[in-house]
């Protein structure tokens, strides 16, 4: 491992500097600047949620201000009408925001493409309208005389004192979010952009991951709303409308959707700019407020064209350039006990049986009445010309696509119609013909994702930093699988930097991290060099000797013939023949199907 270059610009020093500066600012600044910093902190909480939800999770929300509003109105209503402590108001605000997000998320998060952001505009608008029309919430005049916060005998009514609470909460929220991203839940969140098939293949539920992320982002907004209400001591509908939501999104984009610090930087940028514009624009025109919208719109467009990474994107690039930073392997402690392993079925017992499987795509019958069986600790090859239906067959038996007719039995259970996630959790792990890796995650993180179903820690434990023991187990397993495929030294590199052939092998490591009974490999040797193919063959044989069952699609006949115990040949969706390699090679039907394909 290379030593980190010595520099005063490393992240730790930067962090200490930022915290010190924030702690000392109230001693230097006047009340006006402190109030501005308070607004920046509150904005940063909301933007932090958006960096997670939109930047990392890939779900754009144009309604985040509505959650701020729910938190603010929740505590405002409870504390003014019931006269209870604002701290009870905090619990109420978070509960309300969480429930609202859960309900809205459950209804909308299955929407794909543009429909999800569009739906967020709809609920964002309706919630803001609700605030302005409910009698108990004071309609358009809002609620006033909200009590200020107090910590025991200390009143936090003064901007200078609530400042410390706001920024402590911002710090804690950043720490929590950082911990979550580095955890089992965080790997699933970071894999969301890879699609639900990828997540289901490691036994995770993309919808649930997205829903918990959505709730977490909303809770951050709700917390911001609670602070807002007790700081301003007055709430009205307009700060929570869709225009405000767009401003929060602008913060996240301007700061940088790719990293947590982007939320802080973006909030500061937007708030300072807004403040500056409010001073300058009225001098230029009487319609200052409208001009402000125009300036923000122009800024948004500029950012999307020239700085998608936001301000933090530039900072990161500059730092990489200054320090020529090498990726660093994180030294990890060995776990007390390794992850529990599955009991593999004894050699020769039936593992998988496909009975009369049919798959139709409209008029095309991609798989037509195919049956075959696989026994424990066997390697079965599925071969056939391009378009024969092999990948489709794999999708049927892994539950990735529903069957039109037929049955699949796995480990003595009928898994026909079961979800891909359930089948994966039973012990079937797969790789994809079109590689599904997360290019911006490290090799180690990609492989650790494979062990998802073997662990339990969720977002809350991870955020609080209580998942250490389990994470050590997961990473020990991931490291072991990386070493198995010969990439043990390169765990901290990004998966996207590997050549395509090696990415396929990395998918095998991810599948192995699930401790599978049956390994389903779709063209794993495509794009590999001779030596790499030999290594792969050796690895697969070794796995078979350890009792793993393997089903493989492969085009390289030399490779397949030397590797497998039996072959199933498909052509035009139907099964042509089945048998040991030598018999299949000699079969005239197979030779005809492959004519010119070099068998």
Q: How far is the CB of 505 from Mg ion (least distance, A)?
A: 18
Q: Which of 79, 267, 391, 473 binds ligand ADP (CB under 6 A)?
A: 391
Select from Mg ion, ligand ADP, none the partner in contact with residue 389, using the beta carbon and a kind-dependent cut-off of 5 to 8 Å: ligand ADP
Q: How far is the CB of 588 from ligand ADP (least distance, A)?
A: 21
Looking at the Cβ atoms of 445 and 507, the one nearer to ligand ADP is 507
Sequence-distant (≥ 6) Cβ neighbours of residue 32 within 8 angstroms = none
Told to check if 392 binds ligand ADP by CB under 6 A, we report yes
Site residues (CB under 6 A) for ligand ADP, limited to 326-365: 361, 364
The string over 216-235, giving b where at least 16 C-beta atoms fall within 10 Å of a residue's C-beta and e elsewhere, is bbbbbbbbbbbbbbbbbbbb
Looking at the Cβ atoms of 29 and 572, the one nearer to ligand ADP is 572
Q: How far is the CB of 573 from ligand ADP (least distance, A)?
A: 7
Looking at the Cβ atoms of 339 and 365, the one nearer to Mg ion is 365
Provide the residue count of the chain: 599
Stretch that binds Mg ion, among 49-57, 240-248, 396-404, 426-434 (CB under 5 A): 426-434
Angle between helix axes 500-512 and 443-450 (nearest 10 degrees) is 40
Q: Which of 366, 429, 453, 543 binds ligand ADP (CB under 6 A)?
A: 366
- Count of helix runs (H) and strand runs (E) in the chain: 23, 14
Site residues (CB under 6 A) for ligand ADP, limited to 432-491: none
Stretch that binds ligand ADP, among 23-31, 147-155, 385-393, 445-453 (CB under 6 A): 385-393
Told to check if 384 binds ligand ADP by CB under 6 A, we report yes
Sequence-distant (≥ 6) Cβ neighbours of residue 279 within 8 angstroms = none
Told to check if 388 binds ligand ADP by CB under 6 A, we report yes
Looking at the Cβ atoms of 331 and 363, the one nearer to ligand ADP is 363
Stretch that binds Mg ion, among 213-221, 230-238, 428-436, 569-577 (CB under 5 A): 428-436
- The DSSP output letter for 494 is B
Told to check if 433 binds Mg ion by CB under 5 A, we report yes
By rule CB under 5 A, what count of residues binds Mg ion? Answer: 2
Told to check if 385 binds Mg ion by CB under 5 A, we report no
Looking at the Cβ atoms of 391 and 479, the one nearer to Mg ion is 391
Looking at the Cβ atoms of 124 and 573, the one nearer to Mg ion is 573
Told to check if 504 binds ligand ADP by CB under 6 A, we report no
Told to check if 391 binds Mg ion by CB under 5 A, we report yes
| 3-state SS class at 540 | helix
- The DSSP output letter for 134 is -
Segment (H or E) for 576: strand 574-579
Strand-pairing partners, residue 410, are 352, 413
Segment (H or E) for 72: helix 64-82
Stretch that binds ligand ADP, among 142-150, 382-390, 486-494, 525-533 (CB under 6 A): 382-390
Residue 351 dihedral angles phi and psi, to the nearest 5°: -110, -50
Rounded Cα distance between 459 and 215, Å, is 11
Q: How far is CA 495 from CA 66, 524, 561, 596, in A?
A: 38, 16, 30, 36
Rounded Cα distance between 74 and 228, Å, is 12
**What DSSP letter does each residue of 442-487 carry, written as one string?**
BHHHHHHHHTGGG----HHHHHTT--HHHHHHHHHHHHHHHHHTT-
By rule CB under 6 A, what count of residues binds ligand ADP? Answer: 11
Q: Which of 49, 222, 389, 463 binds ligand ADP (CB under 6 A)?
A: 389
Rounded Cα distance between 289 and 521, Å, is 60
Interface with Mg ion by CB under 5 A: which residues?
Answer: 391, 433
Which residues form the interface with ligand ADP (CB under 6 A)?
Answer: 361, 364, 366, 384, 386-392
């Amino acid at each position: 491992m290379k030593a980190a270059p010595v520099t005063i610009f490393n992240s730790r020093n930067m962090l200490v500097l930022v915290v010190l500066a924030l702690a000392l600012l109230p001693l230097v600044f006047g009340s006006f600047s402190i109030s501005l910093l308070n607004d920046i902190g509150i904005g940063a909480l909301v933007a932090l949620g958006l960096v997670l939800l939109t930047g990392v999770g890939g779900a754009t929300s144009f309604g985040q201000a509505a959650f701020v509003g729910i938190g603010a109105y929740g505590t405002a209503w409870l504390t003014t009408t019931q006269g209870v402590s604002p701290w009870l108001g905090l619990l109420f605000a978070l509960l309300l925001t969480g429930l609202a997000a859960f309900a809205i998320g459950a209804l909308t998060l299955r929407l794909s493409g543009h429909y999800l952001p569009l739906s967020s505009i709809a609920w964002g608008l309706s919630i803001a309208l609700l605030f302005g029309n409910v009698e108990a919430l004071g309609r358009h005049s809002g609620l006033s005389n909200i009590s200020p916060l107090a910590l025991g005998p200390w009143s936090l009514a003064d901007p200078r004192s609530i400042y410390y609470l706001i920024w402590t909460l911002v710090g804690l929220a950043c720490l929590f979010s950082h911990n979550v991203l580095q955890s089992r839940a965080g790997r699933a969140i970071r894999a969301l952009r890879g699609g639900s098939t990828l997540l289901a293949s490691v036994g995770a539920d993309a919808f649930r991951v997205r829903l918990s992320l959505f709730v977490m982002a909303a809770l951050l907004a709700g917390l911001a709303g609670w602070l807002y209400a007790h700081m301003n001591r007055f709430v009205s509908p307009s700060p929570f409308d869709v225009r405000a939501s767009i401003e929060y999104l602008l913060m996240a984009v301007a700061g940088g959707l790719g990293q947590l610090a982007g939320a802080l930087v973006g909030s500061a940028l937007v708030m300072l700019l807004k403040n500056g514009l409010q001073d300058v624009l009225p001098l230029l025109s009487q319609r200052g407020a409208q001009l402000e919208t125009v300036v923000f719109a122009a800024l948004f467009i500029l950012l999307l064209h020239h700085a998608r990474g936001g301000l933090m994107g530039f900072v990161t690039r500059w730092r990489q350039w200054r320090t020529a930073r090498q990726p660093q392997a994180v030294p990890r402690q060995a776990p007390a006990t390794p992850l529990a392993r599955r009991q593999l079925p004894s050699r020769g017992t039936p593992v998988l049986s496909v009975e009369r499987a049919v798959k139709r795509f409209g008029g095309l019958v991609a798989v037509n009445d195919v049956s075959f069986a696989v026994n424990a600790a066997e390697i079965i090859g599925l071969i056939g010309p391009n378009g024969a239906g092999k990948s489709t067959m794999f999708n049927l038996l892994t539950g990735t696509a529903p069957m039109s007719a037929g049955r699949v039995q796995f480990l003595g259970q009928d898994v026909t119609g079961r979800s891909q996630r359930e089948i994966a959790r039973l012990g079937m792990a797969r790789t994809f013909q079109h590689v599904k890796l997360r290019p911006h995650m490290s090799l180690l993180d990609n492989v650790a994702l494979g062990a998802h179903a073997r662990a339990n820690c969720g977002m809350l434990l991870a955020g609080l930093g209580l998942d250490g023991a389990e994470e050590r187990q997961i990473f020990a397993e991931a490291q072991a699988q990386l070493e198995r495929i010969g990439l043990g030294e390169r765990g901290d590199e990004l998966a996207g930097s590997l050549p395509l052939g090696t990415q396929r092998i990395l998918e095998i490591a991810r599948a192995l991290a699930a401790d599978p009974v049956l390994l389903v490999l779709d063209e794993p040797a495509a794009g590999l060099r001779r030596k790499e193919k030999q290594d792969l063959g050796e690895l697969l044989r070794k796995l078979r000797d350890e009792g793993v069952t393997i089903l493989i699609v492969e085009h390289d006949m030399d490779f397949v013939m030397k590797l497998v115990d039996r072959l199933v040949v498909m052509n035009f969706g139907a099964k042509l023949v089945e048998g040991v390699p030598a018999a299949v090679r000699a079969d005239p039907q197979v030779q005809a199907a492959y004519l010119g394909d070099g068998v």
